[in-house]
Amino acid sequence: MKNLKLKAARAGKDLSQQALAERVGVSRQTISAIEKGDYNPTIKLCISICKELDVTLNDLFWK
């Protein structure tokens, strides 16, 4: 399932996939795969992404 919440939160912070990836220590392809629903990130990565975007885990990763 696509993660449109992540894409929207990233865009809301005016961050490219590359910029977010650099901030959380992964490749741009990893961020792309998460947004497409092709990759299930670790909880550690989820937390890092949420910290960078100033949102909660519930905001991005759970319905």
54 closest CA partner among 3, 17, 22, 14: 14
Could you tell me how far CA 46 lies from the centroid of its own chain? 7
- Number of structural domains in the chain: 1
Q: Which amino acid is at 10?
A: R
CATH of the domain at 54: 1.10.260.40
18: domain range? 4-61
Contact between 20 and 11 under an 8 Å Cβ cutoff? The reply is: no
Model-level pTM?
0.91
Reported as a pLDDT band with limits 50, 70 and 90, residue 2 is: confident
> What does DSSP assign to residue 62?
-
Which pLDDT does position 1 carry in this prediction? 74
Length of the chain: 63
Contact between 25 and 48 under an 8 Å Cβ cutoff? The reply is: yes
Q: What are 3-59's pLDDT values in tens digits? A: 899 999 999 999 999 999 999 999 999 999 999 999 999 999 999 999 999 999 998
